[in-house]
Structure 1
Amino acid sequence: MRKQGLIVLISMGLTQFPMSAKQTPKQNLPHAYRVTKGDTWYGIARKLNVSPETLAKLNGRTIGENLFENEKLQIPKHEAIKSVPSETKGIQKIAYPLLQKERIQKKFSELTYDPHKGIQFQRGNSSLVRASFPGTVVHVDYMDGYENFVILQHENGLYSVYGNLDRIQVTEGQQVKAKDRLGILTKDKGLYFQLNQNKSNLNPELVLQRGYE
């Protein structure tokens, strides 16, 4: 069952997580937050300068539970936020999944008529595919349209997907570090790269530019 869930992770359109959502001002914070499409506990907590665990606990929830669009969350008062030690890590730089930068042929999109949950790099000189984060290889498989692919599991419910591989050079259960070799691209396709945090899709292009918290 776990493997089926991982396959669904990329087979649903292999919808956008809005990394560029408006930031909530730290001054005069409201006492409630209305959940919008793509929000996660980590994203909301980052905007409010509070830990996701504290935010979830205040609402009688856990960070493992899903959020729902238009749901109203109670948030700590400004004074309480100041006193809460941050439990989140600083911005982590993500390792580029190829040896050199390649042009993005198809961008991340949440358009209903043309969804694309990852980014498709143009096939250039880089054939070696590398892990962008340290983690565990949780699934290795083949899917029409995406050739051989690898899914890595990381901390905080993060998964990364690497598709269009000709040869895979890791096995399920293997621990990898950032920049470790995962496989070799097919001759006629560029890398397909996707990032998911729990059930939300992140825009890989933005994460590559800004890093990940």
Structure 2
Amino acid sequence: MPQTDFKCDRRSLRSQQALLDALVQQLGEGEDLSRVTVASLTERAGLTRRTFYTHYKDIPDFVEQVEAALLADIGELTARIGAATLEDLYRNIGELAPAPGSVELLSYLRDRRALIGSLLGPGGDPAFIKKLIDLARGVVADRMQTGIFPGALGSFFDYYLSYVVSAEVGVIQRWFENGLRESPETMARIMTVIAFVRPGDLYGKPIDINVPAYGMKLLNLQLDTEEN
């Protein structure tokens, strides 16, 4: 269970674990997160409402604390992936090896499949997905801009970054939808290379685009439009 900083004695931790287990069970049974109540949660957990309010203000506060603990762990694991250079990634792809840190991240997600799967699922928390995307953007943005051609920055890079990060999170969602049938090692290899795949590559017809030159043309077109 993600640990909070509020109550650290064994009884409190058991109570928080019981509440978390009850939340996972409710969501796993198809209950929508927006319909989860303190009464239903504590009844399932075998706790009193007073115990719940000892740790949390309400259901949104409970969910926020659970997600914050998860995101803190995921942020640390993602940082190692974000630190990898293109040379690192190219070398690993050539050796059929995953990106540094990717197996550890996916193993963490798999080991918490019940909780994370519930949050990512149809009855979960859409805001959690947005938080994951924002977290990943923050981790990789600076590294991805290192050495990049200046003309490719601006709106072009912003949308490219959103495209890549959202796609990777979408792959993780799909992995959960498929029941985590691939191992973290296999998924790490897939996700290491998938961002470099262009549609034409799948059909043996790769498209050779000079992205920096295209970015400059796009920027000039935008400036001309604004001037006119």
TM-score, normalization: structure 2?
0.25
More helix by share: 2
Higher Cα Rg, which structure? 2
More strand by share: 1
